[in-house]
Structure 1
Amino acid sequence: MSLAFITILANVFFCCAQPEGSILAEKSDKYEFAASPSWRDEFDYSGKPDPKKWSYDLGDDGWGNNELENYTDKIENAKVENGHLIIEAIKEKSGKANYSSARLVSKGKGDFTYGKFEIRAKLPKGRGTWPAIWMLASGNDYGNKGWPDNGEIDIMEHVGFDQNKIHGNIHTKAFNHAIGTNKGNNVIVETVSDEFHTYSCEWTPESIKILLDGKDYFTFTKEPGYDWSQWPFDKPFHLILNIAVGGNWGGQKGVDDSIFPRKMEIDYVRVYPLVEKK
């Protein structure tokens, strides 16, 4: 989830997908992804998320976005049942916050440089929810050692006040909403909270492609001459799954307390390694 999306300016810059068939996009034809995942969680168990694959980000400090939840490691906020991971945001006093939720991270247990990331999920519905499936760098190798210098890949973001729109974005030092250079796109889907959809990212040394149900709607291509400030995407990243409440983007139109609790259900997470064609 990006550091802000402070204003609707983010939408103005959701226009940067590479045109289909461009010369640069064609270069990625030399890469493909393995047929079988190298890292996965099918959620075919019950109880807390597998501790060999997931840790928790914890806290109620707003996460740089003025978010309103406290992230916990309680089973009420993150549990596996009936073949699904359920992340649930609850209206309750939690820490200094008035809501609780969970933010699962694979850092140190699933760190990846390039690959195809596939997550099948059903999203929460309601004004004030802000679920995300995304990735951050696992190390601090570039610039000021923080966001956005080391990069961010948003495989899926959704805000409840704009129910039928799914967003995919990247953030770097050179390309981010805070300086008016955001790179991303969005797509209309009317059933994100009623049905499971597959949210994917295909990351190679030359491009990052964001897909929904197998159809790409945003591609960010490494142009000749890019340095780390435009393309920090050559180091390990990890996965993050969470529901925020309110915040600079999710709370732009307030929070409807009558909707809670609200949950994101995840059927599976699969990571397919990159292989170079012979």
Structure 2
Amino acid sequence: MLDDTFDDLASVDLTGTGAPGHRWFTDRPFGWGRTMPQDLTVRDSVLTISPSTKSPNYGIATSSPTSHEGRGFRYGYFEARMAFDPEDWRRSTGWPAFWGLSHDQIVGVGRPRWAELDFFEAYRDPGGPYEHIFAGTVHDWLAGPPETDRANHGNSSAPLAGVDLTQMHTYACLWQPGRITWIFDGRELFTQTYSKDAAPSPNPRDLAPGMFSPLDGDVNGQTVILGTGVGHPLRVDWVRVWQ
């Protein structure tokens, strides 16, 4: 179980070296550099992530690609209580995200095929506005070069019309073998099922049998990640994972 309320930054490795004794790490994989200490602040037990340099919505994570400290989570209930200003898309290079990425891929255990599970993204099309949707996605990656995301266009989403996202809300995802359910403030929004032998359901993009099954095949699970873009601060009250 992970339960972090961010009373301070003691749980975060601010050195970027992957130092042991931490639950969150600021060094990023794939040559993406690291999150700088000044990009993270805590006030009244709320963590604010406000990147000073462009990153792929990757601020802090539960494993270190440098030292291999930390961990991933295979299956469970993932939730974060967060807030952000949707209007910040106007000057942002990214968007608020609470997501997971193959732990093995982050620490350099190369696999021919691996998965990414996005618990929540305030996703927007490049150059376009954020349209107040809850986007939850499974990505099924093929190793490269170049790496190929075989399901990036298969996003699941639900409208959040009329919701004041500048206030704290709970964004969650229940991941069970072959089944993922996305949840907002305790309300189920949509579900994706999958298996190694059958096509996923729903399947509006006519994806092949076995799509998304690398999720279950990765025994070290998903590293949990919090992040956002430059000019789009993300406030995080707490993060919890139950297994």
- Say whether the fold is shared (TM-score over 0.5): yes
Deviations along 1:219-254, whole A, 9 cap, x unmatched? 121246158653111221110101124xxxxxxxxx
Change (3 A) 1:229 1:200: same
Question: 1:89, 1:102 within 8 Å by CA — same for their partners in 2?
Answer: no
Q: How does 1:227-238 map to 2 (within 5 A)?
A: 230-234=212-216, 235=218, 236-238=221-223
Tell me, yes or no, if structure 1 residue 135 matches structure 2 residue 91.
no
Equivalent residue in structure 1 for 2:133, among 150, 160, 165:
165
After TM superposition, the score normalised by the length of structure 1 is 0.62
Counterpart residue identity of residue 239, structure 1: V
Instruction: Check the 8 A contact 2:99/2:226 in 1, yes or no.
Output: yes
1:56 pairs with 2:26: yes
Amino acid in structure 2 at the alignment position of 1:55: F
C-alpha separation between the residues in 1 aligned to 2:240 and 2:27?
A: 21
Give the secondary structure class of the aligned counterpart of 1:183.
coil
Q: Residues 165 and 156 of structure 1: is their aligned pair in 2 closer, same or farther, counting only changes over 3 Å?
A: same
In the alignment, does 2:155 pair up with 1:193?
A: no
TM-score by length of 2: 0.69
Structure 2: give runs of 5+ residues left out of the alignment.
14-21, 64-68, 199-208
Question: Secondary structure in 1 aligned to 2:214?
Answer: coil
**Equivalent residue pairs, number:** 201
Q: What whole-Å deviation, never above 9, does each CA across 1:121-156 have from its counterpart, x for those lacking one? A: 002432234111100111149xx9369x31011111
Distance in 1 between the 2:51 and 2:141 partners? 31
Q: Helix, strand or coil: the match of 2:96?
A: strand
1:105 maps to amino acid? A
Q: Aligned letter for 1:119?
A: A
Aligned to 2:206: none
**Structure 1 stretches of 5 or more lacking a match?**
1-37, 64-69, 246-259, 274-278
Partner of 1:207: 179
Question: Does the C-alpha gap of structure 1 residues 103 and 146 become closer, same or farther in structure 2, counting only changes over 3 Å?
Answer: farther
Q: Counterpart of 2:239?
A: 269
Displaced runs of 4 or more, over 2 A: 46-51, 57-61, 70-73, 144-147, 176-184, 190-193, 226-230
In our comparison, the structure showing a higher alpha carbon Rg is 1
* The one of 200, 206, 217 aligned to 2:189: 217
